[in-house]
Each structure stands twice: as C-alpha cells, then as structure tokens.
Amino acid sequence: MGNHIKQQFQKVFQQESEGVFFSPGRINLIGEHTDYNGGNVFPASLTMGTYGVARRRDDQEIHVYSENIPETGVLTFSLDDLDYKADDNWANYPKGMIRYIIEKNYHIPVGMDIYFYGNIPNGAGLSSSASIELLTGVIVRDLFDLSIEMLDLVLLGKKVENEFIGVNSGIMDQFAIGMGEKDHALLLDCQTLEYEKVPVHLDGYVIAIMNTNKRRALADSKYNERRGECEAALAILQKEKAVDSLGALDNEAFHQLAPLLQEQPNLLKRARHAVSENQRTLEATAALKENDLLTFGRLLNDSHRSLKEDYEVTGKELDTIVAAAQAQPGVIGARMTGAGFGGCAIAIVPENTYNQFVENVGRQYQKEIGYEASFYQAKIGDGAKRLS
Ligand code: GLA
C-alpha cells in the first residue's frame, strides 16, 4: 500500500513525498448514542482506514487529492483563508483540522500537499470523516514537529465535526481512531474521558461487519434531533434531581424519575435508551473481560432492540440484516453500529461458519431489501500514526 500511494503522490504532485500515514475507521461494540449523554462507549479502531502521503510546500498553499474522489481533482486552499466553503467538498475536513490546530497556537509555517486514499466504505457509518480528521492531525503534527498530544488532536477533530461541519456528534469516533490499539477495544467514560484498553479475544469467533449499503440519508439532521431530545429529557429530570447527564443515572434511579417524562413519551423512550444502553455497556465490558461471550452477545442483541424501539434510529435495512444475522446458527449477538439510519451492523460469528453466514445473511437481505449487502471481517488495528 505504502509504495502504491507514494507513486501516486508523485504522479499527482510531481514531487517526492516526505511520509506515509494511516488513520483507521472504527466500529463500536456497544454503547450507542451514549457519548453525548455523558455515558460509556466501547469502540475499537479497525485495520481499514485512510492512508495519507504528504510533503511540505514552500508557499502558503494546501493542495489535497483523494484517490477515492478523483472527480474533484486537486482541491486547493491557503493557510490565509481557512473558512468553511461548501465548494471545497471533502477538503473541509482537513481544512477544519488545520484551522483549529493553528487556532490552538501551533505554528504551521508553510503549506503542504496531501494525497489521500481510504478503504473504509464511504457513508457506511465507520467514521471515514473522523478518520480523515485524525489523519490530517498526525500528518501536520509530524511534518511540523508540533508537540501536540493525541488527546488534543482527538478534541480538535470533534470540534471540526461540531463547529466546522455542523454535526453535533460526541467524542467516540475521534477518540477510538486516535487512541485505538491493535486487538483492544476502549471502554471510554465520555464524561471524564477516563478510559481502559480491554483485550478483545473472541476464542473461535470473529466480528462480521455487515454493510446495509443504505446511505445514511438525513442522518445528520436526525442525529441532531435525537441529541436535542435527550437534552430536553435531561432538563425535565433536572427539575427534580441534580444530575449532570443521563449517563450519571443507573436503571433504578431512572425508573424513579421516569414519571416526570410521562407526558412526553418520545422523550421518555430516548432517555430510557441512553440510560439502559450505558448500563449494558458496562455489563458487556465486564462480560467480555470474564470471557463470558454469551452474556456479551445477549447484551448486543438487547442494545439493538433498544436502538430500534426506544431510540428509533435503525430502520428497515438495519433491522433486516440484524435479524437475519441473529437467526444464523452459532451467532452470539448482532446489533447496528455507529449513528444508525443505515450504515453498518456487526455480528459475533463462529469463525468456522463465517462463509456460510455471509452467504445466508446476504441472500436473505437481498431477497427482503432488493439490493446487496457487503460483508467484511473486522480486524482491530492501531490508532492514527505514521507508517514510514
Ligand atoms: C456517530 C457519532 C458518535 C456517536 C455515534 C452513536 O458515530 O459521531 O459521536 O454519537 O454516532 O453512538
């Protein structure tokens, strides 16, 4: 991979490159829509991701090219004007990142050329945008020798998403992509940012990623709507009890307060998901640590049900693929992963029947939905870093 993209860099920019970088995509094992509710998440970085090849320029310009989106050609902007522009398309992600690094008072004396190539399926909810943000972060840090911590790059990536792009997302994606480690998932408390690396050993099982190939249309506006509903629910509960976030409540405490939301059934459902999902995340992590895969799998199934019934972010495609996966012999659990409204689901599948699983679920999905799903075996790799 390294050599191919180095050669491509040279073709596009007519110069030798200075370094090759990689930034993963992510899956979330459990803990969905809990990050912005001050709860826990349990994601892992993938070996799939975005590669970047870069070199410094001797002027103030930044030239970026993506092998995945050749139709936009080389997009150009300048260190002197790092405002969001719709015409800059995907280049707004690297642009926003560079802008916020500079606003943090790090010195970027000259511009750069960057060649991007990603093998994360686009729009599938595996965080290709956070992958580009963190990739840009490690490239800039390395090229200009900035002493900026990975956690700061993670926070700046989130800021790009929230303030530059306008999606009100939480910290999970950038955190998983920046801090991930091979063969580990991260149990992250999104309120305190304390985290723990938990080894993922699934004796005899693999994690299947199932892409519904349903584009996440309207996902951003629905996402922001859910977030607003959770904030509204919290505000009502706060009239009765001093509580910082929905993530601070356990099921029992929530049960006591739930009558306050009686008149707003939607808010009740959204909050119930946020609270119960957070509890499931803690239980699932404990189960995985104890190698209790059956409990882990059951909690994955429960998570999907809650996302379907209470949070209402699944939709026909995700529900169909997850139900088909859950019905396969030997599968211990399946659920949607990421924001929902299309995108991907995951399943824990016996290694020796993986091919059969793909065939069966694929066939059933095609029959019910009318187009194909795609499947990948998830491999957990390192977070964003320089490769050579
Ligand atoms: C998206 C967001 C994350 C998180 C998930 C849902 O991936 O970017 O911050 O909220 O959805 O868990």
What distance in angstroms lies between residue 158's CA and the mean position of ligand 1's atoms? 11
| pLDDT on residue 219 | 72
CATH fold match for the domains 1-199 and 205-377: no
Q: Which amino acid makes up residue 198?
A: V
What distance in angstroms lies between residue 172's CA and the mean position of ligand 1's atoms? 6
pLDDT in tens, 84-116: 999 999 999 999 999 999 999 999 999 999 999
Q: Which helix (H) or strand (E) holds 233?
A: helix 219-238
* Ligand 1 nearest-atom number relative to CA 34: 12
Bridge pairing between strands 43-56 and 112-118: antiparallel
Q: Which amino acid makes up residue 269?
A: K
Asked if 355 and 363 touch (Cβ cutoff 8 Å), the reply is: no
Angle at 31 between CA 228 and CA 119, to 5 degrees: 95
pTM of the model: 0.97
Looking at the predicted structure, is the pLDDT value of residue 140 above 70? yes
* Ligand 1 nearest-atom number relative to CA 36: 10
Asked if 65 and 54 touch (Cβ cutoff 8 Å), the reply is: no
Q: Distance between CA 123 and CA 236 in Å, rounded?
A: 35
Q: What are phi and psi of 17, to 5 degrees?
A: -85, 165
Query: 205-377 sits in which CATH class?
Result: alpha beta
* Ligand 1 nearest-atom number relative to CA 339: 11
Query: In sequence order, which residues have a C-beta less than 8 Å from that of residue 54 and are 6 or more positions away?
Result: 9, 17, 18, 19, 21, 112, 113, 114, 115, 139, 143
Q: Is 113 in the pocket of ligand 1 (CB under 6 A)?
A: no
By alpha-carbon position, which residue is closest to atom 1 of ligand 1?
Answer: 339
- CATH fold for domain 1-199: Ribosomal Protein S5; domain 2 (3.30.230)
Q: How far apart are the two ends of the chain, measured CA to CA in Å? A: 11
User: Does 127 appear as a known binding residue?
Assistant: yes
Structure tokens at 244: 């910082």
User: Does 303 appear as a known binding residue?
Assistant: no
pLDDT in tens, 199-258: 999 999 999 999 999 977 667 889 999 999 999 999 999 999 999 999 999 999 999 999
Q: Where are the domains of the chain?
A: 1-199, 205-377
| pLDDT on residue 217 | 64
Nearest to 102 by CA among 94, 57, 21: 94
pLDDT in tens, 60-90: 999 999 999 999 999 999 999 999 999 999 9
| Count of other CB atoms within 10 angstroms of residue 67 | 15
Q: Is 277 in the pocket of ligand 1 (CB under 6 A)?
A: no
Structure tokens at 261: 């939301």
Torsional class of 86: left (φ above 0), alpha (ψ -120 to 50), beta (otherwise): alpha
Query: Which residue's entry shows tokens 């029992």?
Result: 252
Q: What are phi and psi of 219, to 5 degrees?
A: -60, -40
Buried b (16+ CB within 10 A) or exposed e, 365-382: beeebeeebebbebebbb
Q: Is 157 in the pocket of ligand 1 (CB under 6 A)?
A: no
Any idea which residues carry the catalytic annotation?
Answer: 173
| pLDDT on residue 276 | 98
Query: Which residue's entry shows tokens 């020798």?
Result: 145
* Ligand 1 nearest-atom number relative to CA 28: 12
| pLDDT on residue 218 | 62
User: Does 32 appear as a known binding residue?
Assistant: yes
User: Does 169 appear as a known binding residue?
Assistant: no
7 pLDDT tier (thresholds 50, 70, 90): very high
What distance in angstroms lies between residue 277's CA and the mean position of ligand 1's atoms? 13
Looking at the predicted structure, is the pLDDT value of residue 28 above 70? yes
Q: Is 36 in the pocket of ligand 1 (CB under 6 A)?
A: yes
User: Does 107 appear as a known binding residue?
Assistant: no
Looking at the predicted structure, is the pLDDT value of residue 291 above 70? yes
DSSP string, 338-354: SS-SSSEEEEEEEGGGH
Pocket test for ligand 1, best of 35, 246, 335 (most atoms within 8 A of CB): 35
Average pLDDT over residues 332-336: 98
Q: Is 39 in the pocket of ligand 1 (CB under 6 A)?
A: no
What is the chain's mean pLDDT, rounded?
97
Identify the sign of the CA torsion 117, 119, 122, 126.
negative
What distance in angstroms lies between residue 170's CA and the mean position of ligand 1's atoms? 6
